[in-house]
Chain A
Amino acid sequence: NAGVMQNPRHLVRRRGQEARLRCSPMKGHSHVYWYRQLPEEGLKFMVYLQKENIIDESGMPKERFSAEFPKEGPSILRIQQVVRGDSAAYFCASSLGVLEKFFGPGTRLTVL
């Protein structure tokens, strides 16, 4: 049973471009979470999704950021018009219901 998969592992974008981060949860997990880890800071919750539904997006910036978890395929975190302050490690986690969360290896986004 593969763990949580994220791709790409590293992503470089220039200011103003779009970044798309993908997350495939563990098999059988229908709950997906996105967290952001800024340099020298702790992980901060961004958004919690179940299949086709956003349950809690209280941690998402109000503009430029969006997330989806379609019926088929991975969850996508999309950042439009990236700025240097978006440079961070973005982690996805999945869980079976409300139980233990398992994290992916992260996508490290660098904005030039």
Chain B
Amino acid sequence: KQEVTQIPAALSVPEGENLVLNCSFTDSAIYNLQWFRQDPGKGLTSLLLIQSSQREQTSGRLNASLDKSSGRSTLYIAASQPGDSATYLCAVRPVSGANNLFFGTGTRLTVIP
């Protein structure tokens, strides 16, 4: 069964710092990996989706990488801002089985002004 782990569980950084969030998964047979942002009491906003054949995706200050063979993904946030404070979730869609996602428990990011 696919297990998704995110480290660290919480992270505080001063504004302007670059930072990396980590995600690891136990079964490398994935179809894609998606990074989400969740604000307190709110839904999930999709940030980046990486297909299994891709190595990375970029959107603005965000860059996500995927190393499928080692079961790892990173989300890099450049020049962090207080508005980036949220919980960041990664989720993988396995190749086998139905069309669902396995989520990590998230990294709670606080950017201090």
Contact = CB atoms under 8 A, between A and B. Distances in A.
Contacts, number: 60
Contact of A58 (B44, B98, B106): B98
Nearest to B42: A105
A33 B100 contact: yes
Chain A binding surface SS class: strand
B68 to A, nearest CB: 18
B21 interface: no
A12 interface: no
Given A42-B89, A56-B98, A98-B31, A103 B103 contact: no
B66 to A, nearest CB: 15
B46 interface: yes
A45 interface: yes
Given A48-B98, A91-B44, A101 B103 contact: no
**Number of contact residues on B: which range applies?**
20 to 34
A45 B34 contact: no
Interface residues of A, number: 27
A55 interface: yes
Contacts of A106: 42-43
Interface string A99-110: 011111110100
A29 B1 CA distance: 28
Given A41-B105, A42-B105, A42-B106, A105 B43 contact: yes
A104 B98 contact: no
B37 to A, nearest CB: 11
B46 A31 contact: no
A105 to B, nearest CB: 4
Interface of B: 4, 31, 34, 36, 41-46, 49, 89, 91, 97-106
10 contacts: A4-B43, A42-B103, A42-B106, A43-B44, A56-B100, A91-B44, A101-B46, A101-B101, A104-B43, A105-B43
Going nearest first, the 7 A-B pairs with the smallest beta carbon separation are A56-B98, A105-B43, A103-B44, A42-B105, A45-B100, A43-B103, A42-B103
